[in-house]
Amino acid sequence: MQDLTKLTEITESGYRIDAEARLKDLGIVLLPVPAPVSNYRPYITSGKLVFLSGQGPRKPEGGVYTGKVGQDVSPEEAYEHARLICTGLLAAVRQAAGGSLNNVKQAVKLLGMVNVGPGFYDTARVINGCSDLLVEVFGENGPHARSAIGMASLPQNMSVEIEAIFELY
């Protein structure tokens, strides 16, 4: 049953979730959006859609978690890396949405890329780390379209990279 204490209002399509309260209840503090390291932007808004650049699993002390999943990194660790990336994506969409996740209508699409070792084929399980957190934060507006693909390499040898599209109110 849905927790009705985390609602901001009732809309035509149902309940509008208080995503900021859910984030707080989960004990998640979003870090500032990092400055781009090359010639791109962290996000672009077009109409009501926000397109987020790909992010890797940032370490608190700087840098990213690296390695090939199934070889250097366990699937469970990679799941946590994807969940960590989701917090970075949430920070970027929050910034794009005027400083509040309550201005986000829904998650639309994820592209999850996993740096895979030989014989690792369970990329969907890894990207579930991000997908699961989106559902925890946005409730019924968290499920999204998604691709989860294995890659021979990723920038800086990061274990996982995810980009996303969100819709704003």
Domain boundaries, the chain: 4-168
Contact 43, 95 (CB under 8 A): yes
**The whole model's pTM is what?**
0.91
User: Could you count the other beta carbons within 10 Å of the beta carbon of residue 114?
Assistant: 31
4-168 to CATH, choices 3.40.50.300, 3.30.1330.40, 3.90.1150.200, 3.30.70.920: 3.30.1330.40
Q: Read off the pLDDT of residues 14-71 as tens digits, 9 standing for 90 and up.
A: 567 899 999 999 999 999 998 888 899 999 999 999 999 999 999 989 999 999 999 9
The tokens for 11 are 């809309």
HSE, CB side, 13 Å, CA atoms: give it for residue 4. Answer: 3
Structure tokens given for 46:
């077009």
Residue 131, pLDDT above cutoff 70:
yes
